[in-house]
Structures are given as structure tokens and as C-alpha cells.
Structure 1
């Protein structure tokens, strides 16, 4: 997902460390009474951009963990130092997409020795788009507990600001193929997807993705760029206008991206079209002589049509007469 590289200080200041020293004290007091057992893998979400988005519980578990399994040990060490922590290399274990299956065996060995192992990806919640799923599956299969620590995620961050309206939730697709033909085929399958869809993209491919999404026409897309960082952008527009929007300013193609394709709007239908001719004629006749609810009930009794459909139709007919 998003990386923290641009927001992490190369040399954390003493002032920064002292601020988080206060946070660590608060974490110990707030989280201390809770149970965080040994021989457990802790899946820990870390900030996607803003260092202040770390949770008290994450700080507490990171401080107490015997081993930190991480996507990039150098990156994690930099993150730890920003919070005033430092770990020696023996306490850091690289677990990334190229060695996840093999490294899982090392994690399990440490759990067997009674260690607390915390896994962090470069940024965000592990095992969503970043590595971690294979590690979690292997640890669970070995009979050890996996405890998730919720926190930052570019997926939920953007969804919360996108204003997506519609039923059925959303689909998380993540990164599409870097190959143009495969990416186009994947997007073509999204044309008929009625639910909202969340995509992730890197800066060097965002313009190609925008061009490919043109097939969605007037369907709304919310772009999240550099989420939680200083130059954060959240903007909603029609898919067919994405290419032009990116072309307006060169800065718009810089940074990491999350995109939400909004839910497909259901076509509005005329309620009268849901009734057969006989039911509609009966309803119209009764409405001229009886109150709405009585006309609806009698029409339903006579024709067997749904009361809900009849009621909606009756309301529509009444509005037409006003």
C-alpha cells in the first residue's frame, strides 16, 4: 500500500522522540491492564502517512514485542526511531512477499519459545494489499494465536470520505495488473459491478489507469492521493474526466493513490410499470371514489397485486393529479 518514506524524518529529533515518550506512557497506562499473551502473533497496523495516526495499543505492543517481523527492516527501524525506539538487528525479522512462506517458519519457531511477535508492513494494515496473509495462515495452522490491532488503512480512509451511496458494501480489488491488456480486461468486468470498488495504484501507472477507466463513462470515481500526508487530495469526478483532471497539473500524478469507483446507480422506474393493466385500471377507478389506503386494500383483494407496489403506485398517481 502507501509508503511512509516521504514523511519519516531521516534523523528523528529529540523533541519528536520526547513527544512520543508521553504517548508511550499513556499507552502503558491505558493498555496495561489488557491481556496480551505470549506465543502470539500481533498483526499491527501502522500509519499510512501521518505519524500521529499510530494507536496507543500499537505503541504498547511494539514496545513489548520480543521480535518485530517487518516487510522492510530498514524502513521499520526508521519508523521506530521516529517514535523514540530502537531495536537491534536480532529483534527484527524480514518477512516480505518474496520470503513470506519461508520466514513464517522462523516466526513460528519464535512463538514456540514463548515470544510475542509483532508483524508490521511498510504502512497501513498488513495482509490487505501488503504481505502478511501467508504468515497469518501459517501461524494459525501451527496452532498459535493471531491478534489483530486495528488502525490506519488507505481503503477505509478513502471510503469514509468518498460519500459512496448504495447497497451491497464494496469490493476491494487493490492493484490491477501492470500489463495493459490484462488491466483492460479487469476493468471491463467492473462495468457491470453494482457495488463500489476500491483500487490502489502507483504514481507511474496512475495515468494509464485513468485512461482505462474512461470506459466507465459518467460513473463517479473518488481519488485519494497522498492520504493523511501534507498534500492530501480527495476529489470526486466522473470516470470519463479522470485523464483530463490528471493532465491539468503535473503534481496530481505524484504520490500513492487509492480510488473508489462509486456504486452503480439503479435506474429509476415508474411505479405504474410494475402493475399489470387490469390491476392498474382497478386501482385508478377505486382511487376516484375511495381514500388511498382503502383503494389499495380493495385492489389487492380483487387482483392479488402486492399492497406495497399498489401503495407506491397510488402515491405516484395522486402526485400526478396534484
Structure 2
């Protein structure tokens, strides 16, 4: 890899076998991995024996990491952006970073793979010729109902993410 590139790499949702050969090759060859959670991604890298330095880039520090990443790119380094599972930017951090890298004139290259809503849609039996992806609904009931009411007349398949909280009595 000679020209500096920010690779946006999809990672497995649950099965490590879903990581593509290309993703493994790129992750092994970049100079730096920007991970949503370095502990989580560290286990993935260890599984594939990838020994590339990592930094965290998540919702709470993404804006602060832009300058550091742009400095790496200016030095000719290539960087991989990964989220905990699935495709970065799809209801995960990365939008601000990718926009800033593009605005600075650097190439951004996707390495496709897992995307939870596409995987779910493909196995759902719901119409997939027209669909709309919203992401996470608001957490508060009033806002959630207001948002859902905006879509009541939509005839396309609607896809929303939902966080599940599991409570234990133990």
C-alpha cells in the first residue's frame, strides 16, 4: 500500500469466519487501526494474528482523533477504521472522520462485508426491493412514537435498530 488511504472495513457480526480475505489482508498491511473499542477489536486481531497498532475512535472522541489521523495520512500511512461489529458508520462512529478525511483530499476505500440490517433483511422474508433504514429509534417513548408516526403511510420495508437490555435477577 503506497498512497495513504482510510479503509472502512466491515467486521464480523458474530461469526469470525465472515471476515473476508481482503479485510484480513488490508488489516495486516495498514499502519494503524482506528477501532471503536480497542479491547473488542483486539480479540479479533489476535484471532487473525494481526499485529498493527490500534487507537480508539468512538462516539466520545471521534472529533478529537481527526487531527491525529490526518497527520498519519500526511505521512503516507494507511489506516483501517473498524467498528465493534458490522460496517462502520452504519449506526456506528465514523461519519465525522470519513467526512474530514475526504475533505482533506485523502482517498477513502470501503472493504465490504457484514452489515446487520442487510443480513436481517435478506433472511426476513420481507420485501427487499424497496426498503428504508432508519437506525436506532429515540429512547424516550414520546419521541419514539412521534418518529414511528412519521412512517405510518410508508409502503417500503422499514428497518430500525433496537438496543436490547437484558435484566438479570442474579
- Per the TM superposition, whether the score is higher than 0.5 is yes
8 Å contact from structure 2 (residues 2, 76) kept in 1: no
2:78 corresponds to? 116
1:203 and 2:164 are equivalent in the alignment: yes
1:104 Cα offset (Å):
1.4
CA-atom RMSD in angstroms = 1.7
8 Å contact from structure 1 (residues 95, 104) kept in 2: no
1:164 Cα offset (Å):
2.4
**Runs of 4+ displaced beyond 6 Å:** none
Which of these two proteins has the greater Rg computed from alpha carbons? 1
Question: Structure 1 CA distance, aligned partners of 2:75 and 2:125?
Answer: 47
2:28 corresponds to? 63
- Secondary structure at the aligned position of 1:172 is classed as strand
2:99 to 100, 124, 137: 137
1:157 corresponds to? 119
Evaluate the alpha carbon distance shift between residue 116 and residue 48 of structure 1 in structure 2; reply closer, same or farther with a 3 A threshold.
same
8 Å contact from structure 2 (residues 133, 159) kept in 1: yes
Q: TM-score, normalised by structure 1?
A: 0.50
Segments of structure 1 that go 5 or more residues without pairing to the other structure are: 1-35, 206-249, 251-322
1:141 Cα offset (Å):
0.2
8 Å contact from structure 2 (residues 12, 86) kept in 1: yes
Aligned residues: 167
1:50 corresponds to? 15
Segments of structure 2 that go 5 or more residues without pairing to the other structure are: none
8 Å contact from structure 1 (residues 67, 117) kept in 2: yes
Q: TM-score, normalised by structure 2?
A: 0.92
Give the number of the structure whose residues are more often helix, by fraction.
1
2:46 corresponds to? 81
Evaluate the alpha carbon distance shift between residue 83 and residue 180 of structure 1 in structure 2; reply closer, same or farther with a 3 A threshold.
same
2:6 corresponds to? 41
Question: Structure 1 CA distance, aligned partners of 2:11 and 2:136?
Answer: 20
1:160-179 pair list within 5 angstroms: 160-165=122-127, 169-179=130-140
Question: Structure 2 CA distance, aligned partners of 1:196 and 1:100?
Answer: 32
